[in-house]
Amino acid sequence: MSVVGARPQFVKLAPIAHACERAGVEHIIVHTGQHYDPMLSDVFFEELNIPAPDEHLGVGSGSHGVQTGAMLAAMDDVILKHEPDWVLVYGDTNSTLAAALSAVKLHFPIAHLEAGLRSFNREMPEEINRVLTDHAADLLLAPTEVAAQHLNEEGLSGRTVVVGDVMTDVLYQTRDAVADKPSPIMEEYGFSEGEYSLATIHRPQNTDTKDQLESVLNSLGSVDHPVVILAHPRLAAKAKEHGLEIARGNLRVHAPLAYPDLVASALHARGVITDSGGLQKEAFLLRTPCTTVRPQTEWVETVEMGWNVLVDSGEELVRAASRPRPDDTDVAPYGDGHAADQVVEVLIKNTKNA
Ligand code: UD1
């Protein structure tokens, strides 16, 4: 049973769903309803050919306590109804933690995909979600050696298997399908290859106070080439609340994109500027330089290899966004694009009474 609810989880679900089909494994999909806008949810199921969810909890927005609590309550019935061999939870969202808590209390085995990532910033809700989920889970599916090392340091090495990164699977497949076409952002704005940067900003640290959000937007507008920001609902809602226009200077605002359009737009961009976790790594895999508006990253390999730079808003951001490309590399810390088959194999091998 896969439990998902937020946009990055739908991307990770796609290769797992397809690997389950290939292996003939019965796969129940539960959607918590954390993300409900069609452009954050339905379009991912359609474009990535994911079967429709078997269960939809319809939880929606709320404070962390309200949202997580509602999912936790609803998950109990769903787990008892289906009695899964494994509850597979993804990443670090409130949906991840709620499903893990429900399963561990009901004594159903939990596997955590993307286990062991750490920012070591306990003010991020995602950091709390991932630490608690790792400690509740029976099987820790780590994407990288660095993640496995973190789990080892927390005494969890006995439950850890390095499987590679499933986002790499879906990214490579999508890249190969879209590589020859101009990106929708190029077509819409008349940009040529490499003329623009693509931005996304949604983290509470960058959006919740007016000063910080204004500073980030001003910096994006001051970059020396066009920047197109894909407005996550949190960004749109917070900008409205603070009375701020998003577009300014060189910054243009665009609705979120479906996954293949996002991949094409990042592939043909000069750079990516983001506070998203997944997009930092996707930029590296597409060999588009990334500027990350955060003090830490979970994907440290991207920084070590010079493809990602961590910045604060202001001059630092503006300078980093127009830096030259680093030297090319063929290092592959995120696996070879076949992680999902390995995940399913490990799950089958570790199923009790199989
Ligand atoms: C969540 C995850 C984050 C992930 C991100 C990807 C947690 C703690 N955070 O953050 O790790 O990177 O998703 O997008 O789980 N909203 C809509 N429509 C929607 C969904 C949300 O308008 O379909 C609005 C909500 O009303 C709220 C805001 O967006 O104002 C935040 O949504 P929420 O799901 O709580 O967290 P995210 O910030 O999206």
Q: In what order do the strands lie in the sheet with 290-292?
A: 251-254, 227-230, 197-200, 271-274, 290-292, 308-310
Coil vs helix vs strand at 349? helix
Q: Which of 12, 61, 276 maximizes ligand 1 atoms within 8 Å of its Cβ, making it the mutation to test the pocket? A: 61
Instruction: Say yes or no: CB of residue 292 within 6 Å of ligand 1.
Output: no
- Outline where 257-297 has alpha helix (H): 259-267, 277-285
Ligand 1 centroid to residue 98 C-alpha, Å: 15
Q: Which residues are catalytic?
A: 202
Q: Is 224 exposed, middle or buried (0-12, 13-18, 19+ CB in 10 A)?
A: exposed
Instruction: Give the Cβ contact number of residue 322 at 10 Å.
Output: 14
Q: How far apart are CA 42 and CA 80, in angstroms?
A: 26
Report how far apart, in Å, the C-alpha atoms of 206 and of each of 50, 118, 233, 238 are. Answer: 32, 19, 14, 10
Q: Which of 90, 93, 132 maximizes ligand 1 atoms within 8 Å of its Cβ, making it the mutation to test the pocket? A: 93
Q: Which residue has 């999912």 as its token pair? A: 71
pLDDT per position in the chain (354 positions), as tens?
Answer: 999 999 999 999 999 999 999 999 999 999 999 999 999 999 999 999 999 999 999 999 999 999 999 999 999 999 999 999 999 999 999 999 999 999 999 999 999 999 999 999 999 999 999 999 999 999 999 999 999 999 999 999 999 999 999 999 999 999 999 999 899 999 999 999 999 999 999 999 999 999 999 999 999 999 999 999 999 999 999 999 999 999 999 999 999 999 999 999 999 999 999 999 999 999 999 999 999 999 999 999 999 999 999 999 999 999 999 999 999 999 999 998 999 999 999 999 999 866
Lookup: tokens for 201: 């900003």
Quote the pLDDT of residue 254. 98
Instruction: Say yes or no: CB of residue 331 within 6 Å of ligand 1.
Output: no
Q: How far apart are CA 198 and CA 200, in angstroms?
A: 7
Q: Which atom of ligand 1 is nearest to the CA of 278?
A: 12
Instruction: Say yes or no: CB of residue 114 within 6 Å of ligand 1.
Output: no
Quote the pLDDT of residue 354. 62
Q: How far apart are CA 160 and CA 198, in angstroms?
A: 35
Coil vs helix vs strand at 248? strand
Instruction: Say yes or no: CB of residue 8 within 6 Å of ligand 1.
Output: yes
Q: How far apart are CA 49 and CA 52, in angstroms?
A: 9
- Closest residue (by CA) to atom 27 of ligand 1? 234
Of 312, 308, 274, which is closest to residue 288 (Cα–Cα)? 308
Q: Which atom of ligand 1 is nearest to the CA of 62?
A: 35
Instruction: Say yes or no: CB of residue 94 within 6 Å of ligand 1.
Output: yes
Ligand 1 centroid to residue 93 C-alpha, Å: 9
